[in-house]
Amino acid sequence: MSARDRPLRVAVLGAGTVGREVVRGLLEPQGDLVDRAPGIELVGVAARDLGKAMASGIAESLLTDGPAHLVASPESDMIVELMGGDEPAHTLIAAALSAGKAVVTANKHVIAHYGPELEAIARRTGAALRFEAAVGGGIPVLGPLATDLAANRFTHVRGIVNGTTNFMLSAMHERNQGYAGALADAQAAGYAEADPTADVEGIDAANKLAILARLAFGAWLDPDSIERVGITGISAEDIGGAAGAGRVLKLVAQAQAQAQVDGGAAEIGAVVAPTAVPATGSLGRVGGGNNRIELEGEPIGRVAFEGPGAGGRATSSAVLADVLALARGAGSTWGVLKPAGGLVRPGAMDLATPTRYPSGARYPEVD
């Protein structure tokens, strides 16, 4: 039997919130209208806690505590990385691509920080790298950017890309909760981790903005150099001050292609910060854990993507879609876009800033 005739053999690294849902989707496909030929076969699942993984319904025969073994095994064709974090995820993804194996990942940290390296490996070996789930949870935005919208020249991307902080800020506005109460509720609802630093300090949003910029502007931004302000300093007085002005505070990530200087390449400005937006506007109406991503370009004008931006089920939808795309012969998430070089240090953005809020804070405004 040739490789083309046999099922696509998939190994999943990680059996946590997203991993469990992906395994379930591979074993019990939900889409009655989807033709899964030439077939997909789950050949292994790497889990840190084997007992917990078995308790969640994953068969013991599929489980291992050695993710590197699944990457190196000749019995796997595709690696689905859902471990999260930096290492060993980065090394495992790089090893799989170097071996010519396709990779699907939801790991925004690894894609944002090692994107140039991983893209170079994938292009060299011909292995596909897909990462739709790294931005927007279940919202399909990266694929359309690189395919259906590839004829456009984008100038601006902005949006709410972190479900945890949006859940918290929505609670603070709608239920008059303080920061601590909103964080506790977000943790109880499964949106926030025990250590919420990456979310509340804007680190997660900066990673996602860097990935969006690669697809919208063709460059990998250095996520650690993106100007970033978190939500930890937002007070009840700030929430009330915004409401009195007909606005709400949202953690908004935005990047813009700035004017060219001396005939050189356009600089990309980027920022992640709590921003005062009209309460009845497109961003102000996005509540709970939802995300909304807006892009402006020529000739399309403004286009937007909105939907569930967090949670295992929503994220698994994007992961499974990438697996199905690869089973049908699709390539990497960047599609037909030109290769990008190394990490680029973004510039600052000049945003309108209102007068001081009652607490003394100042927040940029966008309409």
99-156, pLDDT tens digit by residue?
999 999 999 999 999 999 999 999 999 999 999 999 998 899 999 999 999 999 999 9
108 as an active site residue: the answer is no
Sheet containing 102-105: which strands, arranged edge to edge?
63-64, 40-46, 8-13, 78-81, 102-105, 129-130
Contact assessment for residue 350 and residue 53, using Cβ atoms and an 8 Å cutoff: no
- Burial zone of 195 (CB within 10 Å; 0-12 exposed, 13-18 middle, 19+ buried): exposed
Does residue 156 share a domain with residue 84? Answer: no
Higher pLDDT, 191 or 290: 290
Last residue within a domain, chosen from 101, 130, 159:
130
Does residue 289 share a domain with residue 196? Answer: yes
Does residue 109 share a domain with residue 203? Answer: no
The DSSP secondary structure of 294-328, one letter per residue, reads: EEEEETTEEEEEEEE-SSHHHHHHHHHHHHHHHHT
Q: What is the mean pLDDT of the chain?
A: 91
Which 8-state DSSP code applies to residue 258?
Answer: P
pTM over 0.95: no
Does residue 156 share a domain with residue 123? Answer: no
Does residue 242 share a domain with residue 279? Answer: yes
Residues pairing with 227 in the sheet: 271
Give the contacts of 15 (CB within 8 A, at least 6 positions apart): 23, 45, 46, 47, 48, 49, 52, 53, 56, 58, 63
Of the listed 101, 108, 208, 250, which one is catalytic?
A: 208
Does residue 154 share a domain with residue 116? Answer: no
Which of helix, strand or coil describes residue 61? helix
Residue 263 pLDDT level (bands cut at 50, 70, 90)? very low
The DSSP secondary structure of 87-128, one letter per residue, reads: TTHHHHHHHHHHTT-EEEE--HHHHHHHHHHHHHHHHHHT--
- Burial zone of 39 (CB within 10 Å; 0-12 exposed, 13-18 middle, 19+ buried): exposed
Does residue 168 share a domain with residue 84? Answer: no
Domain that holds residue 305: 150-309
Domain membership flag for residue 49 = yes
Does residue 300 share a domain with residue 154? Answer: yes
- Burial zone of 183 (CB within 10 Å; 0-12 exposed, 13-18 middle, 19+ buried): buried
Per-residue model confidence as pLDDT tens digits over 58-91: 999 999 999 999 999 999 999 999 999 999 999 9
Per-residue model confidence as pLDDT tens digits over 296-305: 999 999 999 9
Domain membership flag for residue 327 = no
> How far, in whole angstroms, is CA 327 from its chain's centroid?
22
Does residue 194 share a domain with residue 103? Answer: no
Domain membership flag for residue 362 = no
Number of independent structural domains in the chain: 2
Give the pLDDT score at 352: 79
Backbone angles phi and psi of 165, in degrees to 5:
-70, -30
Q: 166, 200, 168, 207: which is closest to 306 by C-alpha?
A: 166
Domain membership flag for residue 324 = no
Give the pLDDT score at 323: 94
Residue 265 pLDDT level (bands cut at 50, 70, 90)? low
Contact assessment for residue 253 and residue 206, using Cβ atoms and an 8 Å cutoff: yes
Q: Is the pLDDT of residue 27 over 60?
A: yes
Does residue 229 share a domain with residue 182? Answer: yes
Report the alpha-carbon distance of residue 93 to residue 332 in Å, rounded: 14
Does residue 155 share a domain with residue 294? Answer: yes
Q: The dihedral of CA 227, 233, 238, 243: what is its sign?
A: positive
